[in-house]
């Protein structure tokens, strides 16, 4: 019945240290063998997913895909071919950066299509990125004009204090009259994309190109940036460590968390 599985990575498929369990690896490979596509659907860059793709047997494979930047880009794994992008305008990205960068205890990520730049980095953030194989460049100053000719996929801000994070989020959205796509991830990031860019829209766009209907898709997630894909597929699944908001959209909540929740769902809906 199901032909496509899209899955969030951090805290859904991967542990808090960025690792993946053998149970999840084995289940994904088994699903691939019976013809069900597995597509990482992440807020991160596709370049940071390459080590994971090797573990899953999907590295450099034709007709296999990654959705990255919260739906901002759809990539075919072979040669990392960019099939589609939906980037922010320069004015949007610059406006978000000007707000987030004035908070002295926040750091800000600027994701271009191929690179990540971090302004005012926090050590907790860099420690989080390191085991996830995320390459980045530290911005030496707040001169945003360096991105004038780039495709800017998203801008995010990081602070483990959720009160501060929500304050920044609300200020950004007020400045743009809510005309951005905004979400939270990993309990410490507020993420901003171009309006209409989200994991769910990109999932359906990829599925349509493959001749797959929404009722033939399983989506796995745990947090607010996963909500659009949970809303738009036939079988929304949330791992046990997911937020209450995410769980409210699920047709199935796994008994296990990121350790083996993905494997549990694949066995229940695909293999068994």
Question: What percent of the chain shows pLDDT beyond 70?
Answer: 100
- The separation between CA 39 and the C-alpha centre of its own chain, rounded to angstroms, equals 11
Confidence of residue 214 (pLDDT cuts 50, 70, 90): very high
The two tokens of residue 261 are: 């929740």
3-class secondary structure, 26: helix
Range 54-62 average pLDDT: 98
**What is the pLDDT, as a whole number, of residue 152?**
98
Residues 6+ apart with CB under 8 A from 244: none
Chain segment 111-120, per-residue pLDDT in tens: 999 999 999 9
pLDDT band at 178 (very low <50, low <70, confident <90, very high): very high
Select from 170, 181, 159 the least CA-distant residue to 92: 181
Q: Which helix (H) or strand (E) holds 212?
A: none
Per-residue confidence band for 70, with pLDDT thresholds at 50, 70 and 90? very high
The pLDDT tens digits of the residues spanning 71-110 come to 999 999 999 999 999 999 999 999 999 999 999 999 999 9
Q: List domains and CATH numbers for the chain.
A: 4-85+197-271 (3.40.50.1000), 90-194 (3.30.1240.10)
- CA-nearest of 106, 116, 38 to 72 is 116
Predicted confidence at residue 173, as pLDDT, reads 98
| Cα dihedral: 64, 259, 219, 230 (round 10) | -140
Given a cut of 90, whether residue 229 has pLDDT beyond it is yes
How far apart are the C-alpha atoms of 9 and 268, rounded to whole Å? Answer: 20
Q: Can you tell me the mean pLDDT for 174-202? A: 97
pLDDT of residue 128: 95
Question: What pLDDT is stored for residue 16 in this prediction?
Answer: 85
Strand order in the sheet with 65-68: 65-68, 73-76, 81-85
Hey, how many other C-beta atoms are within 10 angstroms of the C-beta on 1? 10
Interval 34-40 mean pLDDT? 98
Token pair of 67 as six digits: 């959705």
Question: pTM of whole model > 0.75?
Answer: yes
Predicted pLDDT of residue 27: 98
Burial tier of 214 (Cβ tally within 10 Å: 0-12, 13-18, 19+): middle
Q: What's the whole-number average pLDDT of the chain?
A: 97
User: In the structure, what pLDDT confidence band is assigned to residue 23 with cuts at 50, 70 and 90?
Assistant: very high
Mean pLDDT for the stretch of residues 15-22: 94
Average pLDDT score over residue span 256-264: 98
């Amino acid at each position: 019945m199901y032909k496509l599985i899209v899955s969030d990575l951090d805290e859904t498929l991967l542990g808090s240290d960025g690792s993946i369990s053998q149970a999840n690896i084995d289940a994904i490979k088994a699903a691939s063998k019976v013809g069900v596509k597995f597509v990482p659907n992440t807020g991160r860059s596709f370049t940071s997913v390459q080590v994971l793709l090797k573990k899953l047997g999907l590295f450099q494979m034709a007709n296999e895909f990654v959705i990255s930047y919260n739906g901002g880009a759809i990539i075919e794994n072979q040669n990392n071919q960019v099939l589609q992008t939906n980037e922010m305008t320069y004015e949007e990205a610059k406006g978000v950066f000007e707000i987030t960068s004035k908070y002295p205890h926040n750091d800000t990520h600027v994701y271009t299509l191929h690179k990540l730049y971090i302004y005012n980095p926090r050590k907790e953030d860099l420690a989080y990125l390191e085991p996830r194989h995320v390459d980045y460049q530290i911005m030496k100053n707040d001169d945003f004009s360096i991105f004038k000719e780039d495709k800017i996929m998203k801008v995010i801000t990081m602070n483990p204090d959720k009160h501060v994070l929500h304050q920044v989020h609300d200020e950004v959205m007020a400045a743009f009259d809510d005309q951005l796509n905004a979400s939270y991830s990993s309990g410490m990031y507020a993420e901003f994309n171009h309006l209409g860019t989200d994991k769910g829209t990109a999932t359906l766009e990829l599925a349509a190109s493959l001749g797959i209907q929404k009722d033939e898709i399983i989506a796995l997630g745990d947090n607010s940036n996963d909500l659009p894909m949970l809303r738009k597929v036939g079988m929304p699944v949330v791992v046990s460590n997911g937020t209450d908001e995410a769980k409210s959209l699920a047709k199935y909540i796994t008994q296990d968390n990121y350790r083996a929740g993905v494997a549990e769902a694949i066995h229940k809906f695909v293999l068994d």
